[in-house]
Amino acid sequence: MRYFELSDQVAEGIWFLGHPLDAQGQELDDPWQFRVGVPAHFKGQVRFPVDVKGEARDYSHAAFSTPVVNAKLAALFQELAPNDVELIPVEVDSCVGPYFILNAIRAIPCVDAEESSEVAYWTEEDGIPEKVGTLSFISGMRIDPSKVGGAKVFRPSEWEVSLIVSEDIKDAMERAGITGAVFEAVTGPPTFDPVRRAETKRRGELWNQARYARAAVWRGLGTLSDDFYIPPVVGGPWPAKSQHWIAIRRPDGHMLIVTDGLSDPFSDVLDRPTAGFGLELAIETPEPLGEVWKSWPVHLLERVAYEVAEFEKLRVTLANGTLSMEVDGVGMPETLVTSEGRVAVLIGMETDSLPSRFTLPGGEVRLLTVKVLMPAELTWLLRQGRGAAAELIRHFKAAGEGHLSRSWRQPVVS
């Protein structure tokens, strides 16, 4: 029997379903429960908002990679794998159903790490003791079919994010013309290139050296917690083509958000450690943020970091001092948004409460603060011209504001 990883088609014009809600419209406390290989513990009505409007598919993933199927596909799974799945009725906003969460209720230890293309494991240096020795990354996954038994739908217990189906399930879905499903083989001969695998291993070693060294710096600034998790983004102009952020609760209760990868080693340099762009960005606020990853400081830092990573001229300017810039104000607090729909920041203001530099195996890294400006302060900056940033910093210090960012305060200049 051959097996395949089942995932959803991602393309422009296809709908995307959001965070699962209960009957009262509140977000479920544990949205991951439908993708860990056990029966779901929430037994109430589940509803999905349509976050991105588009064409519906027979098979699709909602937020948190929750598989959602229509009645046609639900009937197929009920017929072919009744003991392997739980079909949970759900409502989808403004869409005629029925729809179901497809919850695989079996988790089987079956990953063949030696035959998989690339694997990485959590280590003690990652600071998450309960994950040490478990998979942190895998690509080109292969499983050992001799360990599967009679299961037709399951999740590998070592890598529960993957949903695996048997070949007869795949064939039945293709015969039925099911839309939205993508299949990738997880059995059969491995497809990796030994040279590429060695390069990937070396690249991972260099990245881990930088990551562990930065983690020691971040832990020295406050408390890191799973409650502060910010989802990473693959791709983009960062040195390692992967974007990460860390949230840190400071001893005084402030929340500090930092980029965690602008100083990663460049992905195409394997003969020595490098420190990427030689900088990381930090924004600190005394305001309560609720769900950190949805908060305005995180979104603001994402936009600023993208600009800094994308444009070398900005990094050159920062090497010589501070920099003021504007980014898109969509979703930002109205008090911060200019009449042109932008939000302004000042990058590089020094503070005694954060280290200005730290050292990685690849070299020295600058930690640059990002301070959000009130619209009136941006107007003043533009009117004053050359040398105005230094004067504005003096006003901030005199007012006791320092490098902290707030969604509202009195401007320090007029």
Is there a cis peptide before residue 98, judged by omega within 30 degrees of 0? yes
Distances, alpha carbon 169 to alpha carbons 31, 96, 138, in Å: 26, 26, 24
- Report the pLDDT value the prediction gives residue 181, as an integer from 0 to 100: 96
Q: Count Cβ neighbours within 10 Å for each residue of 395-407 and write b for 16 or more, e otherwise.
A: ebeeeebbbbbbe
Stronger pLDDT, 414 or 168, i.e. the higher one: 168
Find the length of the chain: 414
Residue 361: the pLDDT is: 97
**What is the separation of C-alpha 221 from the centre of its chain, rounded to a whole number of angstroms?**
22
Percent of the chain with pLDDT over 70: 100
Query: How many helices (H) and strands (E) are present in the chain, helices listed first?
Result: 7, 23
Mean pLDDT of the chain: 93
User: Tens of pLDDT along 236-286?
Assistant: 899 998 899 999 999 999 999 999 999 999 999 999 999 999 999 999 999
| CB neighbour class for 361 (10 Å; exposed up to 12, middle 13-18, buried from 19) | middle
Across 152-203, where does the E strand assignment appear?
A: 153-156, 164-166, 181-185
DSSP 9: -
| Mean pLDDT within 192-199 | 82
> In angstroms, how far is the first alpha carbon of the chain from the final one?
73
Lowest mean pLDDT among 228-242, 276-290, 361-375, 397-411: 228-242
d(CA 347, CA 349): 6
In the predicted model, what is the mean pLDDT of residues 39-68? 92
- 124 pLDDT exceeds 80? no
Contact indicator for 192, 201 with CB cutoff of 8 Å: no
Categorize the per-residue pLDDT at 192 as very low, low, confident or very high, splitting at 50, 70 and 90. Answer: confident
Q: What is the DSSP string of 118-164?
A: EEEE--GGGT-GGGTTSEEEEES--B-GGGTTT-SEEEETTSTT--E
pLDDT tier at 287, thresholds 50, 70, 90: very high
Which is nearest to 326 in space by CA: 341, 316, 310?
341
Residue 154 φ/ψ, nearest 5 degrees: -165, 175
Question: Which amino acid does the sequence have at 98?
Answer: P
Q: What pLDDT, on the 0 to 100 scale, is given for residue 374?
A: 98
The predicted pLDDT at position 127 comes to 66
Residues 372 and 378: their CA atoms lie apart, in Å, by 10
Q: Is 411 exposed, middle or buried (0-12, 13-18, 19+ CB in 10 A)?
A: middle
Q: Give residue limits of the domains in the chain.
A: 3-185, 208-398
Q: Determine what percent of the chain is predicted with pLDDT higher than 90.
A: 77
pLDDT of residue 137: 86
Give 375-382's long-range contacts (Cβ < 8 A, gap of 24+). Answer: 375/336, 375/337, 375/338, 375/339, 375/344, 376/411, 376/413, 376/414, 377/344, 377/411, 377/412, 377/413, 378/324, 378/326, 378/338, 378/344, 380/411, 380/413, 380/414, 381/324, 381/344
Q: For residue 234, is pLDDT > 80?
A: no
User: What is the Rg, in whole angstroms, of the alpha carbon atoms belonging to the chain?
Assistant: 24
pLDDT tens-digit profile of 301-325? 999 999 999 999 999 999 989 999 9
| Cβ count within 10 A of residue 24 | 8
